[in-house]
Structure 1
Amino acid sequence: MASQSSVYMAAITLLLGVLVVFPTSVQSIGVCYGRLGNNLPQPSDVVALYKSNNIGQMRIYDPYSPTLQALQGTNIQLIVDVPNDGLQNLASDASAANDWVQNNIQANSDVSFRYIAVGNEVIPGDSAQYVLPAMKNIYSALSTAGLQNQIKVSTSVATVVLGVSYPPSHGAFSSDALNTLGPIIQFLNENGAPLLVNVYPYFSYVDNQGSIDINYALFTSSGTVVQDGQYSYQNLFDAMVDAVYAALENVGGSNVAIVVSESGWPSAGDTVATISNAQTYNQNLINHVGQGTPRRSGKALETYIFSMFNENGKSAGIEQNWGLFYPNEQPVYPINFS
């Protein structure tokens, strides 16, 4: 992987009776660990698979106790989601947020929590109104525990929050999304937290095959494809991320970083969803993100590949085929994280 260090330096602090271990540096690449399957390995085996493949970061979609237990003492950096169906309760009840933090974060003090994602892809939408109040209540609970500087509170959005995405420098949030995102971006700015963004060139390519070359989507273009003022784009991923950066800058979020909380390519279920394309995309993604994007050149872009396993509990077709590994822990294709 380009310019990432896998060496962690642990600092140990005793805060309000909670032992917190946190790193001074992180890798740029993690992998999302979903559990929507009836044939997946036990969490302890999954964590061992992460370690044996030098994957230093993980995203999970709920605070599943066996996973958190398996992560104890591993120093694997973790994004843990507040599931969407829990947002309304946490938004309306500060004591529920305190309980959530106590039961899931403080009770697992040897887990290297990095971010709490309060909701996944709920903006814009009916549940969007609950995101910021829930974020504030979770943040307050972390502050009570003395953990607000180690664990950042954010939410994960899809690129559908953009009303304009091309050219990247014209990136702007849609009015529907901005009603909710505006105050959230202010919250992130005040607390030094990033915006988590799910970035999928696969879907952009599939929806626009007449105007997007697959090499641009797979990081295999031989030269500049899009010239946008001073910025040259050789791949679609960078263009999509920088469109969100431009949108952030337009609403006073110039200091808000982006963490790519999901990106990947399916290996079956569609004519361009092939093992070869999936391997090409994900390996190139790993090799690329340490360089940053044209708009944030030289600044490694923390990115999480979706996903660790093919999950048979998802809808038939591409949805079941995003995994780097089969449920038997064998790789779908060779991939190198180091």
Structure 2
Amino acid sequence: MANHSFFSILAIVMLLISFTAEGVESIGVCYGTGGNNLPSPNDVIDLYKSKNIKGIRLYNPDQDALQALKDSNIPVILDVPDSDISSLASDSSAASQWVQSNIQAFSANVNFRYIAVGNQLTGDSNANNILPAMRNIAAALRSAGLQDRIKVSTAVSTGVLGTSYPPSAGAFSSDASSVLVPIIGFLNENGAPLLANVYPYVSYTSNPNAISLDYALFTSPGTVVTDGQLQYQNLFDAIVDSLYSALEKVGGRSISVVVSETGWPSDGGPAATTGNAQTYLSNLIGHVSSGTPKRPGSIEAYIYAMFDENNQQPQGTVNHYGLFTPDKQPKYSISF
């Protein structure tokens, strides 16, 4: 009887562990460093571990943070800083050195998943350097034997969409297409996802007369948008599926979307409250395992951000997206 009881409990524990591992692997948190009062990288990574956060996005190859991530097995998106893209695009040896210093030096102990070459640069003067830099980084990863383990992409904003409503009509703008279509060809060739920063908060506050707060917060009691046979109960799914529709229209049907940033501010603007931030993020965490109407399954998403960052400009909501205050205290209760 005791043995049966022990094995039953063990089975339940193992089942819970497997559910937990599956459920949390699709949610990470972005570690922004735009503050002058933030904890040390060691303390930050310890906080990720203690809160069971199973993914991190680093906006630059901070050597202390990478050192702290060793043996944590936390999946990592590592950004190539915008300031480095031009040199990496024009000089393959610079790309090899970048990979050697920031990836190979840590790859035995750090779980790199994606390298993001540029963050929201599609309409920027640096935009035409993104693809050459991606190619040079990918070539350096191949030389290091890491091409199957680490995928190279770029992070876009939803501003690349010329049309987003209804989701099936999603299409990239002509300006964005000139940069993105060749990049999408690269992603296809390399089996890499498109990284996208998805903010229902921004969509809602830009057009509150047409978009309800419930729709943005995942709290609508029923269908809000019917698009052919697909029904949408939240704005997050509608935005992601607009990106999928846009990808399909330019030959990117097989490309998945990884949500490289999403979040809700707790102060500094309309509807920016701790209550709304907690509601959005709790519902997001509960939702990602079911995917979107167009792409059921699961969504890999990264919450912005770990901390409030007092140096981010322009001052306003951007300073209040943190899950934690700089002294590592949670601003509200959410569970990973």
Question: Which whole-Å deviations, capped at 9, do the CAs of 1:235-276 have from their partners, x for residues lacking one?
Answer: 000000000000000011000000000000000011310000
Q: Taking every aligned residue pair, what percent have the same amino acid on both sides?
A: 59
**Cα distance per residue 1:150-209 (max 9 Å; x no partner):** 000000000000000000000000010000100110110111100000000000000100
1:168/1:243 contact within 8 Å kept: yes
- Corresponding position of 1:94: 92
Residue 125 of structure 1: how far off its partner (Å): 2.1
Query: Structure 1's 26 and 322: CA in aligned 2 closer, same or farther, altered over 3 A?
Result: closer
Given candidates 72, 75, 85, the residue that maps to 2:73 is 75
Q: Which AA in structure 1 matches 2:306?
A: M
**In the aligned structure 1, how far is the partner of 2:18 from the partner of 2:234?**
21
Listed as ranges, the matches of 1:42-53 within 5 Å are 42-53=40-51
Matched position secondary structure for 1:154: strand
In structure 2, the residue matched to 1:126 is 125
Counterpart amino acid of 2:278? Q
> 1: distance between equivalents of 2:80 and 2:33?
15
* Distance in 2 (alpha carbons) for counterparts of 1:283 and 1:26: 12
Post-superposition Cα deviations, 1:279-303, rounded to whole Å, max 9, x if no partner, equal: 0001101100110000001x11000
Matched residue SS, 2:114: strand
Uncovered stretches (5+) of structure 2, i.e. residues with no partner: 1-16
In the alignment, is the contact (CA less than 8 A) between 2:24 and 2:53 conserved in 1?
Answer: no
Q: Distance in 2 between matches of 1:4 and 1:174?
A: 42
Counterpart for residue 29 of structure 2: 31
Aligned: 1:210 with 2:224: no
Match of 1:314 among 312, 315, 323: 312
SS of the equivalent of 1:118 reads: strand
Is the contact between residue 4 and residue 290 of structure 1 (CA under 8 Å) also seen in structure 2?
no
Amino acid across the alignment from 1:313: N
Q: Is the 8 A contact 1:162 1:171 kept in 2?
A: yes
Runs (4+) of structure 1 exceeding 6 A deviation are none
- C-alpha distance in 1, partners of 2:121/2:19? 33
Give TM-score, length-normalised by structure 2.
Answer: 0.93
Report the counterpart of residue 265 of structure 1 in structure 2: 264
Q: CA RMSD in A?
A: 1.5
Which one has a larger percent strand, Structure 1 or Structure 2?
A: 1
Q: Paired residue for 2:299?
A: 301
User: In structure 2, do the counterparts of structure 1 residues 149 and 260 end up closer, same or farther at CA, with 3 Å as the change threshold?
Assistant: same
Q: Give the direction of change, closer, same or farther, for the CA distance of 1:222–1:32 in structure 2 (3 Å limit).
A: same
Query: In the alignment, does 2:104 pair up with 1:106?
Result: yes
Aligned-partner Cα distance in 2 for 1:151–1:236? 30
Count of aligned positions: 319
Change (3 A) 1:303 1:320: same
CA–CA distance in structure 2, aligned partners of residues 221 and 82 of structure 1: 38
**Which one-letter code corresponds to 2:329 in the other structure?**
Q
Residue in 1 that maps onto 2:181: 182
Is contact 2:26-2:289 (8 Å) kept?
A: yes
CA positional deviation for 1:72: 0.5
The answer for the alignment partner of 1:56 in structure 2 is 54
Residues of 2 paired with 1:173 and 1:265: CA distance?
25
* Aligned counterpart in structure 2 of residue 66 of structure 1, from 64, 67, 88: 64
Q: Which amino acid aligns with 1:76?
A: I
- 1:319 Cα offset (Å): 1.2
The aligned counterpart of 2:144 is: 145
Structure 1 window deviating more from structure 2 (80-89 vs 26-35): it is: 26-35
Equivalent position SS for 1:108: coil
- The code of the aligned residue for 2:94 comes to A
Q: Which has the larger radius of gyration?
A: 2
- Name the residue aligned to 1:223: 222
What amino acid maps onto 2:305 in structure 1? S
Verify the 8 A CA contact 2:171 2:242 in the aligned structure 1. yes
Report the alpha carbon displacement of residue 124 of structure 1 after superposing the two structures with TM: 2.1
**Alignment partner, residue 324 of structure 2:** 325
The CA deviation at 1:5 is 4.7
